Each structure stands twice: as structure tokens, then as C-alpha cells.
Structure 1
Amino acid sequence: MAYAHLLGLYLGDGHIVRCRKEVYQLSLFCGDDWPGLIEEAERTMARTMPTSSVSRRQRNGCTEVKSYSKHWVCLFPQHGPGKKHQREITLADWQQEIMEAHPGMFVRGLIHSDGCRGMNRVRHVLSSGVRWYEYPRYHFKNESRDILALCCEALDLLGVAWRFNNRNEVSVARREAVERLDRYVGPKY
């Protein structure tokens, strides 16, 4: 289950770089406004690779959560040169099985890295005046069509209704869908 969560975090805001001969660094970038997310990312990374230490590095407006291992590239075969949205991102068969077994944790990682849960405010002009109402909804935004498709696939597995807001953003706005997704994701903290 930790791996499914880490996979979502990696696909959202992570990358792998080669540091030394056969040693790789996995980095996740978490906004400083979300200290709980930073803690959770660190725990998830440590659970996935318990033989490697996890550290933090303060950056401008964010914290880099990182770990070194020879095996990060084995766990994330999507690793490659360039930006993720400029190359094909497909899951290996074993990764697909993990995602399908734990779609909630996978979506949690995606949304907590490249998404949000917020309030949508709607203004209606009526003959009796202006009426405002608001409701919660989720967004997941990513430039990779492949990563967006994986998010949609996981939402389908959870039975969560979704739609595209625009070409690079998935929205979950129906009340029952938001309530269902709250069980797996919830707001950032």
C-alpha cells in the first residue's frame, strides 16, 4: 500500500537522478504550506525502502524529501531523461497490479502532489437577486496525458465520477463522488 501512495507522489511531483555510480536519488517536492504532507511523504518513502535513510532539504517555498538507493530505478521504471509529460509514462505489469489493488492510495499520492480539494463558489443571478452557493471538489492537474489517464483509471476503480475541466485537469465535483474520494484522499494538511 505504501508503494501505491509513493507511486502517485512520484508521478505528481517527484524525480530520480543518478548521483554516483549505480546510486540514485528519489526526490519528492512538497509545498511548505502542507507540513503533514511532508511528514507523510517521508514516512511513505521510508516504508517503501526501509534500508535507505530519508532526509529533507529546504528549498524556496518547498521541502525536498529525498532518499538514495541503487534500487529506486527498479521501483520506478518510468524514470528517464527529460520531463515526464514529454515522454511516455506506462506502468509495468507489477505496478499496474499494485495500483489496481490500492487505487485509493495511488490517487491520494497524485492529488496530494499535483492536486487539491477546494471549495467551488457559484454565483446565480435570479429575479429576486444574486444567490451564492459553494461545494467541495477535487482537482488533479498534470501536463502528462499518460498520468492523467492513470488518475482517471484509478478513479474509475474507486467508482468516483470525474470529468475533464480542461485538457490537463481532472475534476471530481459531484457530491457523492467527493464524499467517496474523501474516504481515500481528504484535504492536504
Structure 2
Amino acid sequence: MGGFDVVPQECVQYIQKYMTSSQYKADSEKALEEVTFYLSSCCTLEGDGKDAWIFDVDDTLLSTIPYFKTHGFGGEKINATSMEAWMRESKAPALGHTLKLFHEIKNRGLKIFLISSRRENLRSSSVDNLIKVGYHGWTGLILRGLEDEFMEVQKYKSKARHRLVDEGYLIWGIIGDQWSSFEGLPIAKRTFKLPNSMYYN
């Protein structure tokens, strides 16, 4: 089922059950096992300081499930004002499976860039939240500026990757929970999609 702006009401209960279940965690961990295999078997890094890896933020590094527990699990149209107010509280928990992998990738010598659809005015609270739950040592956090405000997510993230490539970075991989994190050029050598039933993009 596709082409919807919000989750159909008849599906909300199933999505809530899945996103709060051990199966969601198991599926996420399975997807990230592929990353570990890729890193250990296929990545021969250049070692010039320009080896890069990209993470999405929401529902990749930080969980928005606490917010959606009271906002319909995708069955309600997202209220940006309400969601940004929640983000400013810097209370989103880490997704444990990606927290561990984040540090593994960093320790291998890759430069980590976080490309988020969050707006620039959320930088301080986003940094506070990330550090508080255990993320640190990334090279760049890219957020939407005023010039990106009305740009489609896929085009905005593609533009951000272009900037990194123009700066000489080789993007070895991207981890995200929405297809818009991967679509468009330039592409990474590998992409890894985490499960997220609340979105169809």
C-alpha cells in the first residue's frame, strides 16, 4: 500500500504494535548486521581523511516513538509546530543498535556526517540530545537552512551529499529509515534502510 500522506486508520493499530515490539528491534538489528559485514569485508578505506559515512537522525539515531505514542503512529498528519516543540526538549532516546554501530564506524576512521530534515533553528537542542544519549565525534551535522525550507526532502539531502562530494569526500555508506535519504545523486557505495512503518518515503 503506498501513496498516502498519513497511515490509513485501519493500519494504525498494526503499526503501533510493530514499532513498539521486539520484532522492530530485531529487524533493525538484522539490517545493521549487513553494515558490519560490509565494513569488515568490502571497505578498503583511502585513509586520506576523506572517507565518509552518512546517518539520518530521526528514527535512525534518535527514536521519535515517544512522540508518536501520543500522536497517532503516522495516522495523523504531522504537526510541525508540535513535533519541533518536542524536539526542543532534547528527550528523544537513542536507538541502541545504531548507537553501537555509530561508534564502530567512527573508530574505523570514517568521518561521520549527520544529514537531517530538522531545521537549522533546532541545532542546539539536536546537538544536546545527541550528546546526552551517547553520540559524539561526528564531523558535521547538516540541517535545513532557510534556502532549503520548501525543498523536497530527497532534493535537500541530495544537495547535501553533493556538497560533501565537492569537498572531496568518498561516501562509503548511508543509513536511514526513509527512502528519501538515499534517492538522487550522488549515491553512496552502499545504502542501508532501517524499518519504519510510519512513513512511506
Ranked by relative contact order (alpha carbons within 8 Å, sequence separation 6 or more), the top structure is 2
**Larger gyration radius, structure 1 or structure 2:** 1
Where is the helix percentage greater, Structure 1 or Structure 2? 2
TM-score w.r.t. structure 1 length?
0.28
Where is the strand percentage greater, Structure 1 or Structure 2? 1
TM-score w.r.t. structure 2 length?
0.27
